[in-house]
Amino acid sequence: MFTTTPDPHDIDEGALEVHAPKTAAAGVKAVAVALERGMAQAGVARTVRGMLRINQRDGFDCPGCAWPESITGKRKPAEFCENGAKAIAEESTVRTVTPEFWAAHPIAELEGRSEFWLGSRGRITEPVVVRPGETHYSPISWGEAFELIGEHLRATTPERCVFYTSGRTANETAFLYQLFARSLGTNNLPDCSNMCHESSGFALNPTIGVGKGTVSLEDIHRSELVLVVGQNPGTNHPRMLSALVECRKNGGKVVAVNPLPEAGLMAFKDPQALGGIAGGGEKVADEFLQIKVGGDLALFQALGHLLLAREEREPGSVVDRHFVEAQTAGFAEYREARRALDWAETERATGLSRAQMETVAEMMVASKATIVCWALGLTQQRHSVDTLKEIVNLLLVQGNFGRPGAGACPVRGHSNVQGDRTMGIWEKPTEAFIAALEAEFGIPFPREHGYESVETQHALEAGEVDVFVSMGGNFLSAASDTEHTRAGLKRTGLTVHVSTKPNLSHVAHGRTSLILPTLGRTDVDDKHAGGRQFVTIEDSMSVVHRSQGRLRPVSEHLLAEPVIVARMAEAALGEDHPVDWRAMAEDYDLIRDHIARVIPGFEDYNRRVRTRDGFVLPSPPRDTRTFATDIGKARFTVSPLEYLTPPAGHLILQTLRSHDQYNTTIYGLDDRYRGISKARKVVLANPEDLAALGFADRELVDVISVFNGDERRAEAFRLVGYPTARGCAAAYYPEANVLVHKDLVARESNTPGYKALTVRFERRQ
Ligand SMILES: Nc1nc2c(c(=O)[nH]1)N[C@H]1C(S)=C(S)[C@@H](COP(=O)(O)OP(=O)(O)OC[C@H]3O[C@@H](n4cnc5c(=O)[nH]c(N)nc54)[C@H](O)[C@@H]3O)O[C@H]1N2
Ligand SMILES: Nc1nc2c(c(=O)[nH]1)N[C@H]1C(S)=C(S)[C@@H](COP(=O)(O)OP(=O)(O)OC[C@H]3O[C@@H](n4cnc5c(=O)[nH]c(N)nc54)[C@H](O)[C@@H]3O)O[C@H]1N2
Ligand SMILES: [Mo]
């Protein structure tokens, strides 16, 4: 009998395979996987053309992550990583989702599909609509689509409209989009940043006067000590590993703090260097602290205690006294609060030994230039803002700001999430920003704060949103409490998704719904009166630079994002609106001219962004060791100790990314470094915890989360014994998002508590 292997893209979930976790990241296998994915999606010629332009000065910015490229040094001919290459393959695919696809698949069927299946159908080729009572999406002309949007927006009031943004959106689109929402009269501008690094902004702004990181790529290379906390760079920021290896080559040390022994934190085989092809690779972390989920605040308080105790024993050995006296406030209170420490409780909270913490404190004492890097392991818990402020305290004690090799480094996610915020994608705009917009455009803009993403979920569920517009992204699967969010989205009158590929948000639609297909980063953008256009991006280290796609789009019907925004605005606000939307969409230089006049740091934007490497935005802590807080100084803060303890019979569950996904876009079913393949509905837990709870490895369970007396259930997950810290477990995002109660959020920032769920398991019969 003749059989063929089924196409892996045609399944939603397979039979789980478990292998030993890897002890090093990348190597030649990474290159092989990258090329194989590219060829399968886009063919040889597009793959080669695409990959060679990634992150080159005349090419496009990799849509994979926000890690910067070198601006001083030479770039390698292939300046990308395995996962960047997968992102490109995913976007430059020649598979298409045509009107025939929508005709063949009723929405009710698509709702039951996985993100993996939906996303691997390919790029959407034409705008489609579903009207009240219809069961399928069907084609609609662009003109009719914009008319429909205009009608819905005019029929309601601005506070009942929401404009969501995903962080891949370039500066030009973002600026135009916020201008559109504000011209209508609302600051309802939630974005993926609300779910991501919002806690970082809430910790940094009041303490150091900027919401962004204070280091450059060269600082990482020159640092004496880099702490990598709550971050999995081997998968999510692979090019960061080269920087860490370079730091170690220059004599620096690296400390990793993570509940999981992630492969990329242990060792790295640079796929671009000869040494990366064979051998065990370069060591990454000198010390690995396997912390309990949520234990970082206790750790940083203990490190503060140890540094100050050392200063007391040996005055002048730790504290940068001149800096602390001249540039900071609140040191005395901080020192007092850290004087006493309950070691037993600290060990319980962190799962670490006192000796381990003392070792790291000694490394800090010895270092004259320390950087702390962090990502979501620190931003998505109830006490995240306090944890991050505690990091600032540690950096301030030793004066680690505005010095080569030192500073705070929140490692951002989406490639332009930082730029979108700079452009005004923010539900809480400052008075200065609104005043500058008004001066530029001569019309009034709203000042009242709008909804961020969790408030949007609440408003949707309460039936208080008529129009939900999504500039990229996948709100349903990215947000918490999936079933509640789904119900809320279905209560709206109109959902509009500007997208490249199908996802589950498209089928959790309002009574009327539009999917508007757009160009991606890799696509050439040349259908303008002003000729071929480029866009600009701000990376995680505040470098603003150009990005220009080169590939021929898969369909002639795609419109560029700024054009879509401009035409929505014209349809809603009328052609005689004082803002010249059309002119800006035809020539992005005009958008940049407005930005140059409205946003500080962008003066002479059009000229400076055309220079070889673009330009770096000003950062007072980094550039001049000054702090633009309300008191004109950096601020020490005092937070009470807080950590997560699971009640009896429960574990603390974090949700994370596999090596084979980009957020809600699933590239494949192979979490290679962790040895989990073919399936994603798994829970990784410490074998001793599983035994203590009476469960066996590979058992099939329902996962139940508990929050404030409410329960949520995720059905049919496989338990996998895994070397995570005791008392902790991990499951993949977005499959586990049904478990995250929407009121489980970080204090102040309101970021969902994606890394702080209390769960138990129930055996399935
Ligand atoms: N290939 C790829 N690249 C990406 C993305 C992607 O999905 N795929 N997503 C992009 C986006 S938007 C973002 S924001 C970033 C995300 O980058 P990461 O923050 O690296 O993403 P996560 O997979 O959520 O990993 C969180 C890490 O924190 C650890 N962790 C969890 N809880 C704790 C804790 O309490 N304490 C400590 N110390 N550690 C903890 C986890 O074990 C894990 O290693 O990556 C960006 N880059
Ligand atoms: N449980 C859990 N949930 C999380 C997280 C977590 O760690 N755990 N992390 C959170 C974080 S950090 C983030 S940033 C959010 C991510 O939230 P989002 O940014 O909303 O989600 P993405 O999955 O990145 O969006 C993918 C979709 O974007 C569209 N797209 C891709 N490229 C383009 C483009 O160039 N233009 C346009 N218009 N559309 C495009 C495609 O249609 C694709 O389906 O999720 C959050 N959710
Ligand atoms: Mo993110």
Confidence of residue 407 (pLDDT cuts 50, 70, 90): very high
pLDDT at 272 over 60: yes
| CA 487 to ligand 2 center in whole angstroms | 20
| Nearest ligand, measured from the Cα of 425 | 2
Q: What is the pLDDT of residues 442-470, one digit of tens each?
A: 999 999 999 999 999 999 999 999 999 99
558, 518 Cβ separation under 8 angstroms: yes
Q: What mean pLDDT do residues 157-164 have?
A: 98
Does the Cβ of 656 fall within 6 Å of ligand 1? yes
Binding pocket residue ranges, ligand 2, CB within 6 Å: 119, 166-168, 192, 195-196, 376, 413-414, 471-475, 478, 498-501, 503, 518, 520-521, 561, 655, 663-665, 733-734, 736-737, 740, 754
Q: What is the pLDDT of residues 675-692, one digit of tens each?
A: 999 999 999 999 999 999
| CA 584 to ligand 2 center in whole angstroms | 27
SS (H, E, C) 737-748: HHHCCCCCECCC
Does the Cβ of 166 fall within 6 Å of ligand 1? no
φ/ψ of residue 192, rounded to 5: -65, -20
Q: What is the pLDDT of residues 705-715, one digit of tens each?
A: 999 999 999 99
Does the Cβ of 663 fall within 6 Å of ligand 1? yes
pLDDT at 497 over 80: yes
φ/ψ of residue 29, rounded to 5: -60, -35
Least confident of 25-39, 395-409, 417-431, 498-512: 25-39
Q: HSE-up of 343 (CA within 13 Å, CB side)?
A: 7
**What integer best gives the mean pLDDT of the chain?**
94
pLDDT at 35 over 80: no
Task: Enter the tokens of residue 455.
Answer: 């408030």
pLDDT of residue 1: 41
φ/ψ of residue 97, rounded to 5: -110, 100
pLDDT at 191 over 50: yes
b (16+ CB within 10 A) / e for 428-459: ebeeebbebbeebbeeebbeeebbbbbbbbeb
Write the residue with the smallest CA distance to atom 12 of ligand 1.
413
pLDDT at 183 over 80: yes
Residue type, 193: S
Cα–Cα distance, 538 to 373 (Å, whole number):
18
pLDDT at 275 over 60: no
Confidence of residue 277 (pLDDT cuts 50, 70, 90): very low
The model's pTM:
0.96
Q: What is the pLDDT of residues 523-540, one digit of tens each?
A: 999 999 889 999 999 999
**What are the start-end ranges of the E strands in 584-640?**
615-616, 634-635
Nearest to 742 by CA among 327, 455, 517: 455
Q: Where are the alpha helices (DSSP H) in 462-500?
A: 475-478, 482-489
pLDDT of residue 3: 47
Q: What mean pLDDT do residues 24-33 have?
A: 80
Does the Cβ of 229 fall within 6 Å of ligand 1? yes
pLDDT of residue 587: 97
Write the residue with the smallest CA distance to atom 45 of ligand 2.
478
pLDDT at 307 over 90: yes
Least confident of 56-60, 170-174, 657-661: 56-60
Q: What share of the chain is helix, strand, coil (3-state, %, to 5)?
A: 40, 20, 45
Task: Return the ligand 1 atom nearest residue 724 CA.
Answer: 42
Confidence of residue 56 (pLDDT cuts 50, 70, 90): confident
φ/ψ of residue 590, rounded to 5: -70, -35
Task: Return the ligand 2 atom nearest residue 734 CA.
Answer: 1
Write the residue with the smallest CA distance to atom 39 of ligand 2.
472
Integer-rounded Cα Rg, in Å, for the chain is: 25
φ/ψ of residue 392, rounded to 5: -60, -45
Ligand 3 ion: Cβ-proximal residues, 5 Å cutoff: 196, 413
pLDDT at 295 over 70: yes
pLDDT of residue 253: 98
584, 528 Cβ separation under 8 angstroms: no
Task: Enter the tokens of residue 744.
Answer: 């489980």
Q: Where are the alpha helices (DSSP H) in 610-755?
A: 620-624, 687-693
Burial class of residue 739 (count of CB atoms within 10 Å of its CB; 0-12, 13-18, 19+): buried
Does the Cβ of 291 fall within 6 Å of ligand 1? yes
| CA 361 to ligand 2 center in whole angstroms | 37
Domains and CATH numbers, the chain: 25-92 (no CATH), 96-186+425-539+544-559+580-609 (3.40.50.740), 198-412+631-635 (3.40.228.10), 651-763 (2.40.40.20)
pLDDT of residue 73: 64
Whose structure tokens read 């946003």?
A: 599
Does the Cβ of 300 fall within 6 Å of ligand 1? no
pLDDT at 607 over 80: yes
Q: What is the pLDDT of residues 559-597, one digit of tens each?
A: 999 999 999 999 999 989 999 999 999 999 999 999 999
Bridge partners, 537 (sequence order): 545
683, 729 Cβ separation under 8 angstroms: yes
Does the Cβ of 662 fall within 6 Å of ligand 1? yes
Write the residue with the smallest CA distance to atom 33 of ligand 1.
377
Task: Return the ligand 2 atom nearest residue 166 CA.
Answer: 19
Cα–Cα distance, 309 to 321 (Å, whole number):
15
Share of the chain above pLDDT 70, in %: 97
pLDDT of residue 276: 47
